[in-house]
Every structure is written in structure tokens, then in C-alpha cells.
């Protein structure tokens, strides 16, 4: 069988188009001195200059990942934070829990462009660097791909994170299409689309969530939400015993809009351990007073 060499230098599998398969093949060459990835003929390491050259050739003739219902491998998960710390953006993280281990993924993400604006994709903090690529298909539809080199570990729970500017305070939905996965072979794997993700609406008033864990020992987390207001408001979170005696002030300051968390380790203002029993957690603002209970065990 005679293999016809493609006239496109970035068509690494010589199938006549520069597509996701070529992106995964390039990721395997990234960081090496393999001449197949040295598109700018520098004679050195395959680097970002070569990646930019590759990205410029990934045009309309490439094969997009279709939003279909075709069956594929299960294990792709898209999740968002239950209680994000900010109200002006949304982050959604991808995870792979299936087999085989993946070193690359390409998919399409869809959303309502009146509710969200795509800002980009980035690696999670403390994880290995990935090659990241994305492009607009149409309003509310983004094609993205990411991969790690052949000498890097496969993805697992540390796939990149998608970031969106939040334009709407209500509930909204993010949806992924069926994906293509790269496991180090010449052929991309079909990956089934995960369940769509609902981004919860932002609360419109102050919220004090139940302490967790509860009962607790040695510590519990106290979470609360500050809504968007015209004026900043001072927030005070205090611990009382059942007789109403103040035990400790955890925070007494102005907080920005969004979710916040505090940790109480069962100690009073003098850093002394408190007695076992039920305690009251008070959230006090200029307009609200909310109280919850927590049980401290010894």
C-alpha cells in the first residue's frame, strides 16, 4: 500500500485535512526534537511557535466534533461549583473516570450566549501543563481540545477548567457534545457526552448554610452567601452557647458578594476548647439575622 504524503505540513496523519487527530498527534511531538512537529524549521524543540503555526492551519476544512447521540465510552464528567466564591463568573471542570486513560480530549460545549460568555480554558492549579485550544463555532457553541505530551501523565480528575463570564443571575445549563479522546493510539476514541450541568441561580438574599459536618469534632465549616447589593454591608458571624453567652466572633467585616466559608475549631476567644454541647451560629448584617445550631462532640 502506498501512502500519499499530504501537502499540508500540519496534516500529520496524511488524511487530507488538519483536524483533531492531527492535534493529538502534535501533542505527542510537543517538547521533543522530532522534525515532523518542527513546522517553522528551527531545527530545535517543538514549541509554542510550532503550536501557533498548527493552530493557524486548523481552519474551516477541519472536521468538527458533532453534537450527536452516537454511543461511546462512558466516564466523562462535567461539574460546576455548588457554592462559587464569585458571582460574576462560572467555572466548569472536566473529569475522566473511564478507561483507557486519556492524554487528550476534544468536544463542543454549548450554552445560552445571553447568559454566559466563554472566557477560556485553563489547567487546574498544580497540574501538569496541557496544550489548550478553542474556537468559536457560533454564538453559544465552542469547540475545544486539550492534550498532554507523550512523556506526560494521562488525565484523570485533573482535566482543564472552562471559565465563563456570568451575564445572568438565574439558573442556566451547560452541555457537552460527544467527544473524541486520545489514548496514545493512532485512532481517536469516541466518548459519550455526559449529562448536562445546571448552574444554580444566585440567591437574592443573605444565606447561612448548615454547618458541615454537624455534629463535629474537631472542626466544622460555616458557609454563607452575600448577595449583590447597591452598598457593601458588614457581615458578622458569631458563636453563642444556649444561654446566649457569646463564645467567639469568627468574622466582623465587609465581605464581597458571593459564597464564603469559615472554619470553627471548637474554641473560644481565648483559643480554649469549649465544652461539648449545642452551640448557636449567628449571621448578622445590617438587614438580616440568621441563626443555626451545631453540636460539638468530645
Cβ neighbours of residue 46 closer than 8 Å, sequence gap 6 or more: 26, 29, 30, 31, 32, 33, 34, 37, 38
**Residue 70 is assigned to a structural domain of this protein:** no
**Residue 124 is assigned to a structural domain of this protein:** yes
**Which residues pair with residue 191 across a beta bridge?**
73, 179
Closest Cα partner for 140 from 170, 107, 115? 115
| Average pLDDT along the chain, 298 residues, taken 10 residues at a time | 54 73 80 78 74 67 45 86 81 90 90 95 86 88 86 82 92 89 78 88 91 94 86 88 94 90 94 94 92 93
Q: Verify that 154 and 223 share a domain, yes or no.
A: no
Q: Verify that 167 and 259 share a domain, yes or no.
A: no
Range list of β-strands (E), 54-113: 76-80, 89-96, 104-110
Range list of β-strands (E), the chain: 76-80, 89-96, 104-110, 116-122, 131-138, 141-147, 161-166, 172-176, 179-182, 189-191, 197-199, 207-208, 220-226, 234-240, 246-254, 258-264, 277-284, 289-296
Q: Long-range contacts made by residues 282-285, C-beta under 8 angstroms, separation at least 24?
A: 282/236, 282/237, 282/238, 282/239, 282/240, 283/206, 283/208, 283/224, 283/235, 283/236, 283/237, 284/235, 284/236, 284/237, 284/238, 285/206, 285/233, 285/234, 285/235, 285/236
Q: Verify that 213 and 143 share a domain, yes or no.
A: no
Q: Verify that 91 and 195 share a domain, yes or no.
A: yes
Q: Verify that 177 and 212 share a domain, yes or no.
A: no
pLDDT value of position 247: 95
**Residue 277 is assigned to a structural domain of this protein:** yes
DSSP summary character for residue 240: E
Q: Verify that 272 and 169 share a domain, yes or no.
A: no
Other residues' Cβ atoms within 10 Å of the Cβ of residue 28:
23
Per DSSP, the three-state class of 244 is: coil
Domain with 20 in it: what CATH number? 1.10.1330.10
DSSP summary character for residue 48: H
**Residue 69 is assigned to a structural domain of this protein:** no
**Residue 166 is assigned to a structural domain of this protein:** yes
Maximum pairwise Cα distance, the chain: 88
Domain with 240 in it: what CATH number? 2.60.40.4070
Domain residues for the domain of 129 are: 76-199
Q: Verify that 195 and 87 share a domain, yes or no.
A: yes
Closest Cα partner for 259 from 229, 223, 221, 211? 223
pLDDT value of position 62: 41
Q: Verify that 176 and 86 share a domain, yes or no.
A: yes
Q: Verify that 151 and 193 share a domain, yes or no.
A: yes
pLDDT value of position 186: 63
pLDDT value of position 36: 79
pLDDT value of position 239: 96
If one counts the domains in the chain, the total is 3
pLDDT value of position 4: 43
**Residue 256 is assigned to a structural domain of this protein:** yes
Cβ neighbours of residue 99 closer than 8 Å, sequence gap 6 or more: 73, 75
Grid coordinates representing 214?
A: 454537624
Q: Verify that 95 and 184 share a domain, yes or no.
A: yes
d(CA 71, CA 192): 6
Q: Verify that 191 and 85 share a domain, yes or no.
A: yes
Q: Verify that 195 and 220 share a domain, yes or no.
A: no
**Residue 68 is assigned to a structural domain of this protein:** no
**Residue 179 is assigned to a structural domain of this protein:** yes
Q: DSSP assignment of 104-142, as one string?
A: EEEEEEE--TTTEEEEEEEPPTTS---EEEEEEEETTEE
Amino acid at each position: 500500500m502506498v501512502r500519499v504524503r499530504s501537502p499540508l505540513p500540519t496534516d500529520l496523519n496524511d488524511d487530507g485535512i488538519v483536524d483533531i487527530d492531527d492535534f493529538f498527534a502534535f501533542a505527542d511531538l510537543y517538547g521533543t526534537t522530532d522534525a515532523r512537529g518542527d513546522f517553522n524549521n528551527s531545527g530545535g524543540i517543538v514549541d509554542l511557535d510550532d503550536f501557533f503555526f498548527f493552530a493557524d492551519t486548523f481552519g474551516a476544512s477541519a472536521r468538527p466534533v458533532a453534537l450527536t447521540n452516537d454511543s461511546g465510552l462512558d466516564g466523562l464528567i462535567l461539574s460546576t461549583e455548588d457554592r462559587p466564591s464569585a458571582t460574576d463568573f462560572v467555572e466548569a471542570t472536566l473529569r475522566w473516570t473511564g478507561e483507557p486513560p486519556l492524554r487528550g480530549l476534544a468536544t463542543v460545549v454549548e450554552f445560552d450566549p445571553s447568559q454566559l460568555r466563554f472566557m477560556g480554558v485553563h489547567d487546574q492549579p498544580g497540574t501538569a501543563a496541557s496544550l489548550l485550544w478553542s474556537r468559536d463555532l457560533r454564538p453559544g457553541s465552542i469547540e475545544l481540545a486539550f492534550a498532554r505530551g507523550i512523556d506526560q501523565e494521562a488525565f484523570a480528575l485533573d482535566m482543564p477548567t472552562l471559565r465563563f463570564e456570568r451575564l445572568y443571575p438565574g439558573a442556566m445549563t451547560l452541555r457537552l457534545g460527544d467527544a473524541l479522546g486520545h489514548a496514545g493510539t493512532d485512532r481517536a476514541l469516541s466518548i459519550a457526552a455526559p449529562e448536562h450541568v445546571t448552574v444554580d441561580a444566585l440567591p437574592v438574599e443573605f444565606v447561612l448554610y448548615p454547618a458541615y459536618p454537624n455534629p463535629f469534632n474537631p472542626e466544622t465549616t460555616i458557609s454563607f452567601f452575600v448577595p449583590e447589593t447597591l452598598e457593601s454591608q458588614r457581615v458578622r458571624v458569631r458563636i453563642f452557647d444556649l444561654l446566649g453567652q457569646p463564645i467567639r466572633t469568627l468574622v466582623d467585616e465587609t465581605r464581597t458578594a458571593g459564597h464564603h466559608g469559615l472554619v470553627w475549631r471548637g474554641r473560644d476567644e481565648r483559643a480554649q476548647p469549649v465544652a461539648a454541647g449545642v452551640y448557636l451560629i449567628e449571621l448578622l448584617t445590617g438587614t438580616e439575622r440568621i441563626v443555626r445550631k451545631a453540636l460539638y462532640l468530645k
